[in-house]
Amino acid sequence: MFRMITALAWANILLIFVCLVPLWRNEHWLVRSLDFPRLQFSVALVIVLLADLLILDLVRPVNWILIAGVGACLCFQAWWILPYGAWHKKEVGDAAAPDPDNTLSLITANVLTPNRNAEALIALVRQCRPDILVTLESDSWWQQRLDTLDTDYPYSIKCPLDNLYGMHVYSRLPLMNPRVEYLVEDDVPSMYADVVLPSGQRIQAHFLHPAPPSPTENETSGPRDKELVMVARLARGVGGPRLVTGDLNDVAWSETTRLFRKISGLLDPRVGRGMFNSFHAKFWFCRWPLDHLFVSHHFTLSGIRRLAPYGSDHFAIFAELVLAPGNGQKGNGPEADSDDKAFARDKIS
């Protein structure tokens, strides 16, 4: 029994530690990686809290300190993840009625460069028939296979790379002023274009895939965070309809993604609907939302869903938006205060 109580006490201490470390704004990958598994931490906290109440001697004050610490950490994690449930108010409203001339559907897919099951992704595209397909990690091999879509998707932006940061955009709709830019790192591109809807309305679209903080890529989150803030500022500076999509290599519930939302003024269609965890496709117990879509208040949402696996370590995400400025949800997203703006300046300095 003594060993069980000792192990439980250490489990309490370890969980409290890993939950508190992300509060430290250090950019090292070891620190920032703890932003990702908030859902998994929450499950572990619930299990440990129940074990505390059943096993620990509740007469001893020190045990109540452990229980209070675990309970506080659980509340903190819940504050981050509970907005991504059906019980929360939606940031992006539901589309009131079909409007084909002002509808935009898209698939965002991190294909995983070594994955050779291109036919499975192409089958998903033919099944869903999105207006735009965005692929990440797509190299020359992937481009050769995806180019079979050119007949149906005559507008495109192509940047095949063999460093895991190739990008492609295939579109049924005209893409005006398309361009590829390297905002932060010389080998990590992002893409931009004005999408022209059948109604003639233009939407400024940003497609990105910043490098993650990891032991094999960037030791810190600095380059990723800088790119996110730069794109957020670009999006903020546009008064009309706009969207940002891609693999941000950051989770929906991190401080930096929340900062992106505040600075950009964009809304998250997952809030009030679900997490739509897109990574890791092969391990159900180790998943979090890495692939994102953010939109301005001009849009409502017809639907969003995670698609079937196709060999990648990411699931593709399908979303259908309706441009409806009069029905948008302006003011529903988080707003940047002076501290947020100072934090953003630090990220790009």
Domain containing 303 — which CATH number?
A: 3.60.10.10
Look at residue 37 in the predicted model and tell me its pLDDT.
96
Closest CA to 93 of 332, 315, 266, 290: 332
What is the residue type of 6?
Answer: T
Q: Do 168 and 62 share a domain, yes or no?
A: no
Number of C-beta neighbours around residue 28 at 10 A:
13
Total tally of structural domains belonging to the chain:
2
Closest CA to 237 of 296, 294, 280, 178: 296
Which of 274, 253, 332 has the alpha carbon at shortest distance from 35? 253
Last residue of a domain, one of 18, 49, 84: 84
Range of the domain at 212: 100-348
pLDDT of residue 239: 81
Determine which helix (DSSP H) or strand (DSSP E) holds 314, and give its type and residue range. none
Contact 229, 117 (CB under 8 A): no
CA 54 to chain centre: 38
119 shares a domain with 243: yes
Q: Looking at the domain assignment, is residue 93 inside a domain?
A: no
The verdict on 79 and 110 lying in the same domain is no
pLDDT score of 58:
84
Shared domain for 166 and 46, answered yes or no, is no
Same domain, 248 and 307: yes
Is 215 among the domain residues?
A: yes
pLDDT in single tens digits along all 349 residues of the chain: 767 778 888 999 999 999 999 999 999 999 999 999 999 999 999 999 999 999 888 888 888 999 999 999 999 999 999 999 999 999 999 998 889 999 999 999 999 999 999 999 999 999 999 999 999 999 999 999 999 999 999 999 999 999 999 999 999 999 999 999 999 999 999 999 999 999 999 999 999 999 999 999 999 999 999 999 999 999 988 789 999 999 999 999 999 999 999 999 999 999 999 999 999 999 999 999 999 999 999 999 999 999 999 999 999 999 999 998 765 556 678 888 889 899 999 998 8
At which of 84, 110, 143 does a domain end? 84
Query: Is 94 part of a structural domain of the chain?
Result: no
43 and 13 part of one domain: yes
* Same domain membership, residue 289 and residue 145: yes
- Are residues 79 and 223 both part of a single domain? no
Query: Among the three residues 55, 84, 113, which one is the final residue of a domain in this structure?
Result: 84
Quickly count: other Cβ atoms within 10 Å of residue 148's Cβ. Answer: 13
* 92 is a domain residue: no
Contact 35, 255 (CB under 8 A): yes
155 and 183 part of one domain: yes
Residue carrying structure tokens 């960037």: 218
